[in-house]
Amino acid sequence: MRVEIWSDIACPWCYVGKARFEKALEAFPHREQVEVVHRSFELDPGRAKGDIQPVITMLTKKYGMSAAQAQAGEENLGAQAAAEGLDYRTEGRDHGNTFDMHRLLHLAKEQGKQDALIQNFYRANFAEERSVFAEGEERLVELAVAAGLDADDARKVLADPDAYADEVRADEREAAQLGATGVPFFVLDRKFGVSGAQPAEVFEQALTQAWGERSPLTLIDQGDADACGPDGCAVPQH
């Protein structure tokens, strides 16, 4: 069974939702047979690459709330993250364009290191003092290397603005086609969708339901035919 997760590194609920989903997956009896794929979604796709500002400032401008309201929201998110065992800086974080990080995640996907990299990005953005936006591309390369990627490979992707750009845009178009207007958005076997950072119990129910309703293979029996199996291949008799 495949679970696809549309998310953005700048999305705090994606950070919390990933932890809740993984708690459910850990308890799922068939977890070894579940493939998890992370898909790209930008919350702020129109933001220029160099446009970096404090999270509180971004929230007040984007949502029209006061600085006190924005800070209260960050405190609430910090509590929600702590409940899942996650570190979360409620003050001093910044916000910027995440397109390059999504491109690197597609590189990591090809090498089976996507989950490690997105977790590094989340932790760096939400829990660490060093910025994933203000420190430039070498900060992203450092995080990519920590996830097991080659530094030169990461630098080549970042140096070429077209590298994996089509893949990121394709993910975003697909999200729109599936009806995702926000993230995190979880799609199980292209049959069931779960929107938001739901409690682990909701993810457990979704995994169980999706697993139980997988379509069994319909076999069209045309009689005995030669085939190969674990014990070898059928030997022609004529």
Share of the chain above pLDDT 70, in %: 90
Counting Cβ atoms within 10 Å, is residue 211 exposed (0-12), middle (13-18) or buried (19+)? middle
Q: What is the CA radius of gyration of the chain?
A: 21
Look at residue 225 and tell me whether its pLDDT is greater than 90: no
pLDDT of residue 33: 96
Note the pLDDT tens digit of each residue in 34-46.
999 999 999 999 9
pLDDT of residue 229: 54
Residue type, 59: L
β-sheet bridge partners, residue 186 = 5, 194
Going by DSSP bridges, is the β-strand pair 35-40/53-54 parallel, antiparallel, or unpaired? unpaired
Token pair for 214: 């997988």
pLDDT of residue 220: 63
Note the pLDDT tens digit of each residue in 123-147.
999 999 999 999 999 999 999 999 9
Counting Cβ atoms within 10 Å, is residue 5 exposed (0-12), middle (13-18) or buried (19+)? buried
Calpha distance 71→78 (Å, rounded): 10
Q: In the 3-class helix/strand/coil scheme, how is 107-134 assigned residue by residue?
A: HHHHCCCHHHHHHHHHHHHHCCCCCCCC
Note the pLDDT tens digit of each residue in 162-187.
999 999 999 999 999 999 989 999 99
Average pLDDT over residues 1-8: 97
Residue 22: closest CA among 12, 11, 31, 10 = 31
Residue with tokens 């069994």: 216
Look at residue 238 and tell me whether its pLDDT is greater than 80: no
Q: How confident is the model at residue 223 (pLDDT cuts 50, 70, 90)?
A: low
pLDDT of residue 213: 85
Calpha distance 143→238 (Å, rounded): 62
Counting Cβ atoms within 10 Å, is residue 210 exposed (0-12), middle (13-18) or buried (19+)? buried
Note the pLDDT tens digit of each residue in 188-205.
999 999 999 999 999 999
Average pLDDT over residues 108-131: 98
Q: For all residues of the chain together, what is the average pLDDT?
A: 92
Token pair for 199: 């409690």
pLDDT of residue 68: 97
pTM of the model: 0.89
